[in-house]
Copies of this chain bind each other. A is one copy, B any other.
Amino acid sequence: MDRVVIVGGGFAGLAAARRLADAPVEVEVVDQHNFHTFQPLLYEVATAGLDPADVAYPIRTVLRRTPNAHFVHGRVSGFDLATRSIRLEDGRTLSYDRLIVASGAAAAVFGVPGVVDHALFLYTLDDARWVRNQVLAALERSDASADDTLAPVIVVVGGGPTGVETAGAMAELIDIAIRHDRLRLDPQRTRIVLLDAKTRLLPGFPPGASAYAERTLRARGVEVRLGLGVDAVSPAGVTLAGGELLPATLVIWAAGVAVDGTVAADLPGRRGPGGRVMVQPDLSLPDHPEVFIVGDAAAVPDPGLATPGEGHLEADHTERFLPQLAQVAIQSGDHAARQVLSLLEGRPTAPFAYHDKGVMATIGRRSAVAQLANGVIVRGSLGWLAWLVLHLVYLIGFRNRVVVLVNWAWRYFRWPSGPRLIIGDVPAGPPTVSRHGQIDCPECGA
């Protein structure tokens, strides 16, 4: 029986596995984590609205519905396309007849000095947990200090959905910390600054939605500063283009994503923006019809006319490729699996066509903007409700849906609960720095 190896248990990889559930193939899903991460909600983990377990789901549980699929826990170290096998870091090799690479992306730093060492990211669950611990520990340090000049300043770089959602939820977190948790912070000195080099927020949305997002964030106390590039990040803060130093307690870098280079570096062929692997219209790797690249790892040409979503492209993606969104990942993973089945049956492959279902972003509690596929804009409470329903529908696994719903119900009714827990990323003992070398945290979880 043909063996299909899927690298990555994200949206794209699991969509591919599910499509192959009833097919006469043996499927192996490889991931370095034993869980799927619901990335669109990582900002909620980072701002202590949801717990890490609310947005993570064991891949083995997901695969119960696909009895021909098996999970392999390991980190891919390279591809050997000639022998049709992949290597894992622990020395194992997995051979395949068909390969679907859904290895995802990582934060893009665009070569800005200091970002890797001094900023926090929001791309993995560990990133989000680390941001949560750092933010809560910074609030506790300010509470402990009688010096108001130590009030936390949180700078979010990036005005796309992730930056907007993070800034909005962070404003709520600080509001709860002051009003309900009685942290001794001066609301006038506790600042959240949202920066972007572009001149409007949510560049993938229509201008009216951008203006609404900006207005709503300002009303919640977020300072929105647009048209300002970042020259460097240091322990002192952010150096803006032009030389101004914006002092910052924490810098959250949400300026864009690039391909996860460690996995994709081995693959032949041209690269698109952010190092993404250029694929054929059917999503296969040039000269390797048995290999498909899907999700954030792929640079998928956007035919433009076929999709009403061209206007939604985030500005850090060029106009010519599909954006790195969950919907693109799900649909491309599913498409690749369908092509595997076509090849198995001796049929030709078909080009991938993306069906835009719209884009949306929350701006804190009870506010969101959504552009539906038909171009209609929904905003305010109705937009938030649309966002909630859509995310619940896509949350994998019933148990998670219940827990997430309970949390959200709480938030909606302004019962300021939530897991504001500093559960140590770092083993107790002397403070350490994370893999990104972020500011260390003498009090968090030690």
**A residues contacting the other copy or chain, number (CB 8 A):** 60
| Residue from the list B126, B428, B443, B446 in contact with A445, Cβ < 8 A | B126
Measured between beta carbons, the chain B residues less than 8 angstroms from A70 are 182
Q: Cβ of B428 and Cβ of A126 under 8 Å apart?
A: yes
Measured between beta carbons, the chain B residues less than 8 angstroms from A32 are 443, 446
Q: Cβ of A446 and Cβ of B34 under 8 Å apart?
A: no
CB nearest neighbor in B for A180: B64
Distance A361 CA – B446 CA, assembled complex (angstroms) = 30
Q: Cβ of A74 and Cβ of B144 under 8 Å apart?
A: yes
Distance A135 CA – B420 CA, assembled complex (angstroms) = 27
Q: Cβ of A34 and Cβ of B419 under 8 Å apart?
A: no
Q: Among A125, A180, A428, A432, which residue has the most Cβ atoms of chain B within 10 A?
A: A428
Q: Beta-carbon contacts of A45-65 to B below 8 Å, as 1s and 0s? A: 000000111001010110110
Q: Cβ of B402 and Cβ of A406 under 8 Å apart?
A: yes
Measured between beta carbons, the chain B residues less than 8 angstroms from A443 are 32, 73-75, 90
| Residue from the list B53, B74, B141, B420 in contact with A51, Cβ < 8 A | B53
* Residue A410 at the chain B interface, CB threshold 8 Å: yes
* Residue A384 at the chain B interface, CB threshold 8 Å: no
Measured between beta carbons, the chain B residues less than 8 angstroms from A52 are 53, 421, 423
Distance A70 CA – B72 CA, assembled complex (angstroms) = 48
Q: Cβ of B427 and Cβ of A53 under 8 Å apart?
A: no
Measured between beta carbons, the chain B residues less than 8 angstroms from A351 are none
Q: Beta-carbon contacts of A122-149 to B below 8 Å, as 1s and 0s? A: 0011100100000011001101100000
* Residue A377 at the chain B interface, CB threshold 8 Å: no
Q: Beta-carbon contacts of A411-428 to B below 8 Å, as 1s and 0s? A: 000000101111111111
Distance A328 CA – B136 CA, assembled complex (angstroms) = 32
Among A318-375, those with CB < 8 Å from B are: none
* Residue A403 at the chain B interface, CB threshold 8 Å: yes
Q: Beta-carbon contacts of A111-129 to B below 8 Å, as 1s and 0s? A: 0000000000000111001
Q: Cβ of A442 and Cβ of B51 under 8 Å apart?
A: no
Distance A181 CA – B57 CA, assembled complex (angstroms) = 13
| Residue from the list B89, B397, B417, B432 in contact with A61, Cβ < 8 A | B417
A181-B60, A182-B60 known; A33 vs B445 contact (CB < 8 Å)? yes
* Residue A84 at the chain B interface, CB threshold 8 Å: no
CB nearest neighbor in B for A433: B427
Q: Cβ of A421 and Cβ of B183 under 8 Å apart?
A: no
- For the complex formed, measure the closest distance between the CB of A267 and the CB atoms of chain B, giving whole angstroms: 22
Distance A369 CA – B44 CA, assembled complex (angstroms) = 40
* Residue A434 at the chain B interface, CB threshold 8 Å: yes
Measured between beta carbons, the chain B residues less than 8 angstroms from A429 are 435
- For the complex formed, measure the closest distance between the CB of A441 and the CB atoms of chain B, giving whole angstroms: 11
Measured between beta carbons, the chain B residues less than 8 angstroms from A421 are 34-35, 52-53, 56, 58
* Residue A399 at the chain B interface, CB threshold 8 Å: yes
Could you give 26 example pairs across A and B, Cβ below 8 Å? Answer: A32-B443, A32-B446, A33-B422, A33-B445, A34-B136, A34-B140, A34-B421, A34-B422, A53-B53, A53-B423, A56-B419, A61-B181, A70-B182, A73-B140, A73-B141, A73-B143, A73-B144, A125-B423, A126-B424, A126-B427, A399-B417, A402-B406, A427-B432, A427-B434, A428-B435, A429-B435
In the A-B complex, list the 4 residue pairs whose CB atoms are closest, starting with the nearest. A73-B140, A60-B181, A51-B53, A427-B435
Q: Which residues of A contact B (CB under 8 A)?
A: 32-35, 51-53, 56, 58, 60-61, 63-64, 70, 72-75, 89-90, 92, 124-126, 129, 136-137, 140-141, 143-144, 180-183, 397, 399, 402-403, 406, 410, 417, 419-429, 432, 434-435, 442-443, 445-446
* 14 additional contacts (CB under 8 A) given A72-B144, A73-B140: A32-B446, A51-B51, A52-B421, A56-B421, A60-B180, A63-B182, A70-B182, A73-B141, A89-B442, A124-B428, A125-B423, A426-B427, A427-B435, A429-B435
